[in-house]
Amino acid sequence: MFVLTACGNSSNNQSTETKDGKTKITWLNILHTPSPPTDTIVDLIEEKTNTELTFNWIPDASKEERLTTALASNELGDIVTLQIAMLKNSSVRNALKSGVFWDVSNYLSDYKNLSKISEDRINAAKIDGALYGVPVQKDYARAGLVIRKDWLDNLGLEVPTTLEELYEVAKQFTENDPDGNGVDDTVGFGDRAPSDIRYTSFKLFTSYFGAPNGWSVDENGKFTPEFDTKEYMKALNYSRELYKNGYLSQDFAVTQKTDQQEQFAQGKTGIYTGMIDIKNLKTMGRGIQDEMKLVPVNKISDGKDGKYHVWSEGNGVGGLLAFPKSSVKDEAHLKKLLQFVDDLLEEDVYKLMTGGVEGKHYEIQEDGAIKYIDMDLWQQDVQPLSSSRPSEITFSFKDADPEKELANQLVKENADFAVLDPTVPLDSEKNNEVGSEIEKIVIDATVQYIMGQIDEAGFKKAVAEWKAQGGDQITKEYEAAYKAAQK
């Protein structure tokens, strides 16, 4: 089912159109579900876009290996889905920079929907000033908290809006029996192992204190990593106090995401990092914490200037839909493919790839919220295609769960104060080579500092080690790439 076929052949050796004028398209795409979609929605997409589609699916678990093989054998199809994480893969990065794919920078303005992609997203998706595909549009920032609203009510507390208030909530949730069971069995903050520190409570704290997202760049083009700023140190001290007093899970360093969710659903913790998981948390709590009431929170200030900050993942870009020159031989063919992607952004097509067919897969209730009629059928026909949408922001159904719908709206609101990472569109050979490896030096030191195992001097020593093992070179290369991009 998942064997890659020589999908480039349909473009190289045959006409790009069917006898009745439909554009033939092969799409090398990522599959996030156990099975590919049925033809139900695919047939409707073909009808609405006047195309004949052939999907070649790569399972998500082996996407980098399969894509590397496809690049080496030049079997790529007309459209290739490159997820944001894949853009850091050295083989993919080199292929992009060496001209394997079309630069579409000068084409998007000619299309109704593609021309509306924000400048921030366009810039974030560029590599060395070139745009090697259509940016997959994502929300700028999805981060936020989920807090037990029933626990707040039990203790007479308000939803926190500052770091000081948040600390007090964590303290009261730990010390003041928020569930009223007379047992000392609750902790304020749950958390997870920081193998990827971006999804921990600590990363949110750095945002709340005003630290840069990954890197900062000043008016002179000087780059500074986030962990070499005073705001990062403030977040470290905040987390350290939470941990020392028992307001942060003492086993966070060895806790995985599913365990973190289970702890929350079982009533062991009262604050969860991951606003978009609110509906899943409620589902997990059924039969265990049926009285559980939750509130999503996206705005926490440092209490000084009243400003809000939240880190952005990928600067609103989830990857690229790229067009290989080996398959797409000329500009005329490219323009047909761009028209197809533009058509996928039309609301009716977008709804098909999100909800399916109204009356068959879903219905709209009186309050305007979506209700799925047959979830099994939706999972077979529609769900595998949802990750193929060129955008997650074009249109959204109202969620039937009011707390989830509120979280969705807060995610959109996050765009107003999202902090972008200036290095997303920049390239550093040294970072490609050792970036992930030496990042572990700082991650380990961050955890050790929070747990009280090292002091500030020990943390700064780790930062110095990061610089010596390649960090200084990475900084210089980002500065040079930034300077070149400004020309």
- For residue 14, what pLDDT band results from cuts at 50, 70 and 90? low
> In terms of C-beta density within 10 A (0-12 exposed, 13-18 middle, 19 or more buried), how is residue 1 classed?
exposed
One-letter amino acid at 361 equals H
Token output for 103: 């630069």
The per-residue pLDDT for 193 is 84
pLDDT tens sequence across 152-170:
999 999 999 999 999 999 9
Q: How many domains does the chain have?
A: 1
Q: Residue 143: left (phi > 0), alpha (psi -120 to 50), or beta? A: beta
In a domain, 187, yes or no: no
Contact 201, 248 (CB under 8 A): yes
Q: pLDDT tens-digit profile of 230-249?
A: 999 999 999 999 999 999 99
What's the length of the chain?
487
In a domain, 57, yes or no: yes
pLDDT digits (tens, 9 = 90+) for 322-346: 999 999 999 999 999 999 999 999 9
Q: Is residue 442 part of a domain?
A: no
Indicate the pTM of the whole model: 0.89
Q: With bands split at pLDDT 50, 70 and 90, how would you rate the model's confidence at 355?
A: very high
- Find the domain containing 79 and state its range: 23-140+314-394
Packing angle, helices 39-49 and 331-344, rounded to 10: 120
Q: Where in 110-199 does DSSP place strands (E)?
A: 134-137, 145-148, 187-189
**Would 214 be classed as within a structural domain?**
no
Q: 82-112 pLDDT, tens per residue?
A: 998 888 777 888 888 889 999 999 999 999 9
* Cβ partners under 8 Å of residue 304, min gap 6: none
Residue 11 domain-assigned? Answer: no
- Is 346 domain-assigned? yes
Residue 3 has pLDDT above 60, yes or no: no
Place of tokens 């790839």: 353
How much is the pLDDT for 8? Answer: 36
User: What pLDDT digit, counting tens, does each position of 283-328 carry?
Assistant: 999 999 999 999 999 999 998 888 999 999 889 999 999 999 999 9
The runs of H, that is alpha helices, within 128-277 are 149-154, 163-175, 201-208, 230-244, 257-265
Cβ neighbours for 235, distance < 8 A, ≥ 6 positions apart: 202, 205, 206, 208, 209, 211
Q: Is residue 182 part of a domain?
A: no
472 confidence band (pLDDT: 50, 70, 90): very high
pLDDT tens, 17-36? Answer: 988 999 999 999 999 999 99
Does residue 195 have a pLDDT over 90? no
The model's confidence at residue 7, banded by pLDDT at 50, 70 and 90, is very low
33-37, 52-56, 70-74, 341-345, range with the lowest pLDDT: 70-74
Q: With respect to residue 68, please indicate whether it lies within any of the assigned structural domains.
A: yes
d(CA 397, CA 461): 49
pLDDT value, residue 4: 37
Residue spans of alpha helices (H) in 287-346: 331-344
Kindly state the tokens that stand for 253: 């360093």
Q: How far is CA 151 from CA 1, 157, 178, 186, 246, in A?
A: 49, 8, 5, 11, 18
CATH number at residue 111: 3.40.190.10
pLDDT for the residue 5? 37
